[in-house]
Amino acid sequence: MTSTGEIWRNWGRTEKAKPIRVERPRTASAVQRAVVAAAGSGIPIKAVGASHSFSGIAAPAGVLLELDDLTGLIDVDERERLATFSAGTRLRDIPRLLARHGLAMENLGDIDSQSIAGAISTGTHGTGAAFRGLAAQVAGATLVTGTGEIMRVDAGSNPELLPAVALSLGALGILVDVTVRCVPAFDLAAVEKPERLDDVLDTLDERVARADHFEFYWFPHTETALTKTNTRMPSGAARRPLPPVKRWLDDTVVSNGLFRVTCGLGSAVPAVTPTVNRLADKLTGNREFTDASHLVFTTKRTVRFAEMEYALPAEHVAAALREVKELIDRSGWTVSFPVEVRFAASDDLWMSTATGRETGYIAVHRYARESPAEYFRAVEAIMRGLAGRPHWGKMHWRDAESLRESYPRFDDFAAVRDRLDPARLFRNAYLDRVLGP
């Protein structure tokens, strides 16, 4: 929570800004009043969710709207499986809100701290070749536009705007609620194990095609990939959850605690990182369990890091990862955080990183106390050579001119921005860079 006069910072500590003032609206009308007031005094205004973006996409250039008081389930249509949430609702609260309706989100990313509005606005995704990102699950939304209008966008109202509004980079208005197409609640069976990286890369296409949700982590300076394969279970299948102590040990002590120690050690004495990564790849992984989908999809991340993630045509992923491995081997850098590889189905949202193509994601991370720029920029050069698109909520150095080439509907999105935010009330330095002024 940020108060007026305080500095706003994002989770990864890669961005900060001093908002002119901070407001915490509780209703759509209060959001509208804040937007009209900002417009009247010519001050930009920006909503933040959980401030979990690593890029400057959420950095306020004027008024900061914190939406932690605009949360909760507004309405459920059980027959159509549509649930409408206030925009500030955190993903972690959604399973509880949907439980009595027997519904769940179709897919999720690694964590559940984000707000629903923030997650869809940056194209947050999980993994699974047949499953699209969270924004593609959006069936409707209500927003306050830059002209102060409260506008509904769904199949019945302004439907032509949905492919822009569902994934808007926060550039088209302040979302006050979001309607999500859900699925019947389901369990996932998880198999996590360390395997040889070469074996994984040689058989990547079939693993991705065969599994509902396949992903892997590669620990730099090792030959090991930690694979995670999740299978959607038919209803009524037996649950085999991790015992609470084992979950705590794995997630809190081994994954995060070990990481905290190893990253701290690696940043003080870089030479130990390769040894430590070999230890990490032995201690993590190798477990099988079945549990409610949200408990399997998401984990806790308590060690802060910086991240860049690129979306590639899925067929380029194995080659791209081999290039990243060669880069790290030849550079002499010591990289303590793993590289994460995931997949998603093609969608038709104009600014989605998966728009129009089956997609694979490669994410690189760096411990918060280490400078990520040299490593990330070198990886970005590899990804650009393979038609990569950067995650909007993660670090990158691309600008509007180069991004226009990557997105066939870039100019259509710009035209909607001209219509909904003609005075650029929602602008900040990041949007100036990636969309143009």
Ligand X SMILES: Cc1cc2nc3c(=O)[nH]c(=O)nc-3n(C[C@H](O)[C@H](O)[C@H](O)COP(=O)(O)OP(=O)(O)OC[C@H]3O[C@@H](n4cnc5c(N)ncnc54)[C@H](O)[C@@H]3O)c2cc1C
Contact positions vs ligand X (CB under 6 A)? 11-12, 46-53, 57-58, 67, 87, 109-111, 114-115, 117-119, 121-122, 124-125, 169-170, 174-175, 301, 391, 393
Q: How far is the CB of 355 from ligand X (least distance, A)?
A: 15
Nearer to ligand X, 175 or 201 (CB): 175
Q: How far is the CB of 171 from ligand X (least distance, A)?
A: 7
Which residue lies nearer to ligand X by CB, 87 or 328? 87
Cβ-contact 281, 342 below 8 angstroms:
no
Give the amino acid at 202: D
**CB 24, min distance to ligand X, A:** 12
In the bound state with ligand X, the residue whose beta carbon lies nearer, of 115 and 277, is 115
In the bound complex, what is the minimum distance in angstroms from residue 60's beta carbon to ligand X? 8
C-beta of residue 394 within 8 angstroms of C-beta of residue 308:
yes
User: Between the CA of residue 175 and those of 31, 90, 430, what are the distances in Å?
Assistant: 9, 14, 19
Neighbouring-strand partners of residue 143: 151, 175
What is the C-alpha end-to-end distance of the chain, expressed in Å?
A: 29
The distance between the two most distant Cα atoms of the chain, rounded to a whole number of Å, is 60
Q: Which residues of 134-155 are buried (b: 16+ CB within 10 A; e: fewer)?
A: bbbbbbbbbbbbbbbebbebbe
Q: Which is nearer to ligand X, 150 or 272 (CB)?
A: 150
Helix axes 258-268, 273-283, angle to 10 degrees: 170
Q: Smallest distance, Å, CB 393 to ligand X?
A: 3
In the block, residue with structure tokens 């536009």: 145
Residue number with CB closer to ligand X (30 or 272): 30
We find the least distance from the C-beta atom of residue 314 to ligand X, in angstroms, to be 16
Nearer Cβ to ligand X (4/203): 4
Give the residue with the Cβ less far from ligand X, 322 or 413.
413
Convert 296-336 into a string of H (helix), E (strand) and C (coil): HHCCCCCCCEEEEEEEEEHHHHHHHHHHHHHHHHHHCCCCC
Q: Least CB distance from residue 223 to ligand X, whole Å?
A: 25
Q: What is the chain's Cα-based Rg?
A: 21
